[in-house]
Structure 1
Amino acid sequence: MAKRYDINSALLRDLPLINGSHSSAVGQPKAHTQSPSVSGTAVIGVAFKGGIVLAADTVGSYGTLCKLRTIPRLLRVNKSTVLAMSGDYADFQYIEQLIAKKTMQDFCSDDGYEWTPKSLHSWLTRILYNARSKFDPLWNSYVVGGLEDGVPYLGGLTMLGISYTAPYMATGFGRFIAQPFLADQLEKNPEMDEAAAREVAIHSLRLLYYRNRESSNKYQLTVVTKDGSVLEPIKEFEGVWDTALMIRGYD
């Protein structure tokens, strides 16, 4: 994980003098988190009757190069709560460590408390908003999913700490490509079951694979129902490129 730096911790006395005053552009500490190196693209969330589905591809892009092909961007927090991330992978690892530390503290206190989707969503909102308030934001968007008192819960988060809930959601490029498709499918079938939700989520990833150069056909999927949460192994879907032969006018 990339080391985090507080850009406000630089002391003016450590900066060189230019024309009798301290320079704000020379000698400042490196702010690695302000330029993410390895990042992941869109994640998809769909609520169905009795649970939720989260899906994401497994590519890690180094700039625009799809360098890493099998990095997970889904996190099973517990039997009722899961998390999906798009954005800087190092910052995601940092959040993973914070969640693990908080989980261990709760376990040691032995008070019977564990994360729920709503509590994790609220806590992450404060973490991201606090980081952005220090002008050192975590470069991630998150989708929190699970069952809250037996009711499906989907919560979204931006890197600025803006939170929202919805029965479906997509981050990154998926807001423009996949979200209209998700809205159409849930409008047609508001009471969709788990099988339909899986199909919709995977097809959303397929749409992104065709239109986003930083996407991949390798993906991972997690489902939360009353029986618990299951993080499935990495799978792969086949692409269909026959329509490319019908494209004209770009010679």
Structure 2
Amino acid sequence: MLNNYQSSGYPLWSNGPTPGGFYNFTGGQQTHKLPSELVTEGPYGTKRNTSSITTGSSVLGIRFDEGVMIAADTLVSYGSLARYQDIHRVFKINNNIILGGSGDFADIQSIKRNIDQKMIEDQYYDDQITMKPKELSSWLTRVLYGRRSRMNPLYIDVVVGGVDKQGVPFLGNVDLRGRAYEDYVVATGFARHLALPLVRERKPADRDFTAQEASDLIRKCMEVLYYRDTRNMSKYTVGVCTTSNCLVEGPYNVNENWTFAANIKGY
């Protein structure tokens, strides 16, 4: 049957798409292209990254009764090479917001520049209105979903935290596809598997964490991540945001103890 169709003189795949191209539906001869401002032509055509290059690992955020804490180690890896060992991935955005980023560090820098520019634009209005953490999280979902829809995503996974004007803490996560959620504990990378259970099993049933409890959990979780995640290191920074202050502290060092290594056999 296929041979009969080909011998009749009709092309087998008339007006079909080229690999990676747009469909031209029957009856239309127009070739669809992306707007020129979305395409960067190189000597061999358009080329975009399809994977992360220099990457930061886990970010952990915990909400407590007076604010939020976000922690991340200071290592940015080049593949499996521990290349940059003093890079801060937790940032103060304004007096209400802190942000932690994992994934491709160049993309983290890119979105951080865009956020800083937005903060400057907001200041131009001089209307005494500042961005709140929930607003920034919502804005990030639109930006990241827009990039994903143009097949040119930012390879990042961010944790947004802070307090609003009424002093209510907010903690949320936005990934590279624009998906978002909020909770009393959020994490990216291996911390989703290693740190979230540690925090959830210690959550009091009838109240939020206190600041001291959240700080102790951050310290314990960063220690576990250092031991168990090969892309983590012993130094980390912690962003703390409350109604009275918003700052990034550190770097701190985990309490290393390798005496148990003598009992490990078979490697």
Cα contact 2:96–2:241 (8 A) shared by 1 = yes
Identify the residue that residue 9 of structure 2 maps to in structure 1.
none
Deviation larger for 164-173 or 182-191: 182-191
SS for the counterpart of 1:195 is helix
Task: Tell me how far apart the structure 2 counterparts of residues 90 and 187 of structure 1 sit (CA, whole Å).
Answer: 38
Identify the residue that residue 9 of structure 1 maps to in structure 2.
39
**One-letter code aligned to 1:207:** V
**One-letter code aligned to 1:220:** T
The answer to whether residue 141 in structure 2 is matched with residue 111 in structure 1 is no
Find the partner of 2:214 among 170, 190, 197: 197
Find the partner of 2:118 among 80, 102, 113: 102
1:197-249, Cα deviation, whole Å (9 max, x unpaired):
0110121111111011110010000111111202113121231122222223x
Stretches of structure 1 lacking an aligned partner (at least 5 in a row): 1-5, 16-26
After TM superposition, the score normalised by the length of structure 1 is 0.86
The answer to whether residue 205 in structure 2 is matched with residue 175 in structure 1 is no
Closer, same or farther: CA 7–89 of 1 in aligned 2, 3 Å: farther
Task: Tell me how far apart the structure 1 counterparts of residues 190 and 156 of structure 2 sit (CA, whole Å).
Answer: 13
Identify the residue that residue 30 of structure 2 maps to in structure 1.
none
Identify the residue that residue 89 of structure 1 maps to in structure 2.
105
Q: Between Structure 1 and Structure 2, whose CA radius of gyration is higher?
A: 2
Q: Percent identity?
A: 33
Q: CA RMSD in A?
A: 2.0
Cα contact 1:55–1:221 (8 A) shared by 2 = yes
The answer to whether residue 81 in structure 2 is matched with residue 51 in structure 1 is no
After TM superposition, the score normalised by the length of structure 2 is 0.81
**One-letter code aligned to 2:132:** T
Stretches of structure 2 lacking an aligned partner (at least 5 in a row): 1-35
**One-letter code aligned to 2:259:** D
Closer, same or farther: CA 101–8 of 1 in aligned 2, 3 Å: closer
Count of residues paired in the alignment? 231
1:138-192, Cα deviation, whole Å (9 max, x unpaired):
1000110011221111011111110000000111111111111111121468432
The answer to whether residue 256 in structure 2 is matched with residue 242 in structure 1 is no
Identify the residue that residue 135 of structure 1 maps to in structure 2.
151
The answer to whether residue 83 in structure 2 is matched with residue 67 in structure 1 is yes
